[in-house]
Amino acid sequence: MRAFLILISLIGTAFHSHASEITEKITYFPETKLLQEVKRFEGSKLIELMSYSLEQKIAFHEKYAYPKDNQKLVTTVSPYQPCEGQIVGQSLFSTESDSEVLLKKWNYDKGDCRLLYVDYFSPENSQIILKKETYTTEQRLQEVTTFTWDSAGENVTSFRTVDTHGRLIKSYQPYKKFDLNFVYANYPEAERARRISLHNKSDRLLIGVIDSGFDYGHTELAFKFWNNPKESFDGRDDDGNHWIDDVFGWDQTSQTGLPSESGSSLAKDRLPMSHGTHVAHIATRDLDEVAIFGFAGDFTNVEYINQISTFLRSHPVRVINMSFSLPLDKGGDMGLRKSAKALEKMIQENPQVLFVVASGNDGKNIVEYKNRQFPASFHYENLITVGALDDLTLGLKRASYSNFGEGTVEIYAPGTKISAASIGGGLISHTGTSMAAPYVVHVAAEALLLKPELQPAQLKALILESAQQVSDEVLGSIKAVDVEALKRKLK
């Protein structure tokens, strides 16, 4: 049913010498709800729109400006606390044709109303963000990032970020050639040589990370990637495992040995997601004797999971990080059910690998049937599910967002406000059980460096036995991982 509209009044008033203002007050009766709208005009141009609720409270408030003849600036003012009367959204449109084309959008924090970033869109396609400006908490321009996109306008093919003096802060290009001499070009010769020789050591302790992809050109990570002694970057499948040039990783999406994280997340949000990059850095930070093999792509794809399982059976991977989960029981989705079965088969087929799994961020008890998630809800002696601890400055405490579950989420690790590698360079702070799992991988790697013969079940038992008991309101107590206690046990 269409809203019934009555024009209550139409008042014309002259204001100042240059503009005439018309106030138009409209009352809507959409079904039983009374809503009033007030429109203000300058000449023929609408400059303000307010809508009132039944209680005469402002429900909606927008102002309009016309910087150029063919442009319209829409400013949304919040009628709600805590931003009352403040700008909470702004968009600039081109109105050259009959339709409006979004050119520029200011993005404000919904909590404290501060300007966070400004996006500039392609005039041809408002899905494509060409430029992004980010602002400091003092509302000063901080950084400018420019993006290039593929011809379909679906993926960012590169981005670069500069400061207000035009100095380069970050740059990123997925599927870029892996070249340590290039990554460490500005490093002192000795350090560059040290890092390259570490990468060349193919017998470092090998861990695997199944995730969203990686910035393998990040200075903190590049030399950590493995150098598969059975493969080289020569366009051939040297080891006959059907993956060409899987030297340090595999990207199922592009079917290449360059497991890349997408740069599109930075275009779509204020900060780059940097998931796999962040996770891989947490798992290997300060561990020169640990190497990473990265698996990127669709980890719900059964064929891909089977391929990863085959890879694990023929390569010396000791620990795998899985900071992802598949819900199984909602809507009886057979696709995901098959994926979870394939993950389970991979865990069963690889008893020599310790699988470290994030518990998930729903704050739920995943022992309850309806809340189960996979692989977090599996129970195997070569699998450990990790929950997150809260901000450590507040003391040892389970994080409220962390999934839990007695006998299922067996260990907790730092996961809140964790600073680690960001795609394009530098560090970024992320929070989640995704950050807690690689902390435990790091601990497992330290244990294996001290005692390489440890088997997954022994390793898991050691992590649990050396953990600190922390009291918990819901669970009575939880176990927080304690790397120093674990190392003491091994010495």
Identify which range of 13-21, 41-49, 144-152, 245-253 contacts Ca ion by CB under 5 A: 245-253
Nearer to Ca ion, 85 or 229 (CB): 229
> Residue 60 corresponds to which tokens in the numbers above?
């909606």
314 binds Ca ion (CB under 5 A): no
Please tell me whether residue 422 adopts helix, strand or coil conformation. coil
226 binds Ca ion (CB under 5 A): no
256 binds Ca ion (CB under 5 A): no
310 binds Ca ion (CB under 5 A): no
Nearer to Ca ion, 291 or 448 (CB): 291
241 binds Ca ion (CB under 5 A): yes
237 binds Ca ion (CB under 5 A): yes
Closest CA to 352 of 376, 382, 385, 375: 382
Task: Give the helix/strand (H/E) hosting 278.
Answer: helix 275-284
390 binds Ca ion (CB under 5 A): no
Q: Which of 84, 96, 191, 234 binds Ca ion (CB under 5 A)?
A: 234
Burial class (CB in 10 A: 0-12, 13-18, 19+), 473: exposed
> Residue 230 corresponds to which tokens in the numbers above?
């059975």
Looking at this protein, which amino acid is placed at residue 464?
L
236 binds Ca ion (CB under 5 A): yes
Nearer to Ca ion, 119 or 245 (CB): 245
Q: Which of 37, 238, 333, 349 binds Ca ion (CB under 5 A)?
A: 238
Q: Is the dihedral of CA 457, 460, 461, 462 positive or negative?
A: positive
Cβ-contact 132, 117 below 8 angstroms: yes
Q: Which of 243, 248, 304, 412 binds Ca ion (CB under 5 A)?
A: 243
> Residue 393 corresponds to which tokens in the numbers above?
């400055």
Ramachandran sector of residue 166 (left: φ over 0; alpha: ψ -120 to 50; beta: rest): left
Cβ-contact 117, 145 below 8 angstroms: no
Nearer to Ca ion, 243 or 404 (CB): 243
Q: Is the dihedral of CA 168, 170, 176, 177 positive or negative?
A: positive
CB of 227 to Ca ion, least distance (A): 12
Catalytic machinery residues: 211, 275, 434
Q: How many residues bind Ca ion (CB under 5 A)?
A: 10
Identify which range of 118-126, 226-234, 339-347, 457-465 contacts Ca ion by CB under 5 A: 226-234
The residue ranges that bind Ca ion (CB under 5 A) are 231, 234, 236-239, 241, 243, 245-246
